[in-house]
Structure 1
Amino acid sequence: MTASRILLVVAGLAAAAYGAVLVLDLPGRTIALIAVWAGGGVIVHDFVFAPLSAVLGYTGRRLVKGSWWAPIAVAALCSATLIFLAVPVFDTPGAKPDNPTVLDRDYPMGLMISLLIIWACVPLYQVGAALMQRRRANN
């Protein structure tokens, strides 16, 4: 192992130990809720998201042929990630009339703009790839 890897492993273990110390300072009920949340996350991932991703990937690969597959797959993954991140603030659960600075943005519009930018990059990638291929052929 290189010195940088050893340093990264030591830093990771130190951060994990610090996190464990912080968690152990919490009340027992909170620790139990954290364990249920973490276990539930693993179960939902393994039995819902992973099979769904496999089915969508397999189906998408059959429907999208050629060089369009990679950029569409990346755009779909980025879109899913953004949508999952937007869910907690999408209906503005923390907004308060007496404090307009809490959730002070139009999150649905921001999500739509972000998704439009991501999907606009798909044809741009194709154009860039074609130009690079043409440039390599000329050299």
Structure 2
Amino acid sequence: MRARLALGALGVLVGLYGALLFLTRQDPGQWLEVAIWFGAGVVAHDVVLSALVIGTCLVGARVLPQAWRAPATIALVVWGALTIATIPMLTRAGARADNATLLDRPYAATWWTMTAIVVVVVAVAGLLRSPRATRRG
């Protein structure tokens, strides 16, 4: 219990330090842009991602066998967060013609690779959790 309280207190202190740095080092003209950025993140997560995950999980609970439900749900959460985090790179937001070093990686190929890894992990987990696998072991 003490460790949890200490970690919580440390988190509050780090958050306060971050707020202090933001208020003292950020141009006040940019505060609105930062608030919009934070708000967009909350909306993207709470409205878009959460609604999609809950809806898909409700459908998956009716369609998928019991052994596949947990791996598929975990994969959906991981893949959704991965996709939302990579949207700026996938859309090349912020790319500039005068700076070729910005966004110079194969982000789409990396996203597809990570998506394939998530699918393979779900397939392996689902197969290992399936009734056939549990009967053999």
TM-score calculated relative to the size of structure 2: 0.76
Q: 2 CA distance for matches of 1:118 and 1:43?
A: 25
How many residues are matched?
134
Find the residue that maps to 1:92 and give its secondary structure. coil
Output the amino acid matched with 2:123.
Answer: P
| 2:118 pairs with 1:129 | no
TM-score by length of 1: 0.75
What does 1:58-69 correspond to in 2, within 5 Å? 58-69=58-69
- Percent of residue pairs bearing the same amino acid type: 28
Match of 2:29 in 1: 29
Distance 2:113 2:8 in 1: 39
Structure 2 runs not aligned, ≥5 long: none
Residue number in structure 2 paired with 1:8: 7
**Letter aligned with residue 21 of structure 2:** L
Runs of 4+ in 1 over 6 A off after TM superposition: none
Residues 114/102 of structure 1: CA separation in 2 closer, same or farther (3 Å cut): same
Using a 3 Å threshold, how does the CA distance of structure 1 residues 49 and 105 change in structure 2: closer, same or farther?
closer
Q: Which has the higher contact order (CA 8 A, sep 6+)?
A: 2
**Structure 2 partner of 1:19:** 18
Structure 1 alignment gaps of length 5 or more:
none
Paired AA for residue 117 in structure 1: I
Rg larger for: 1
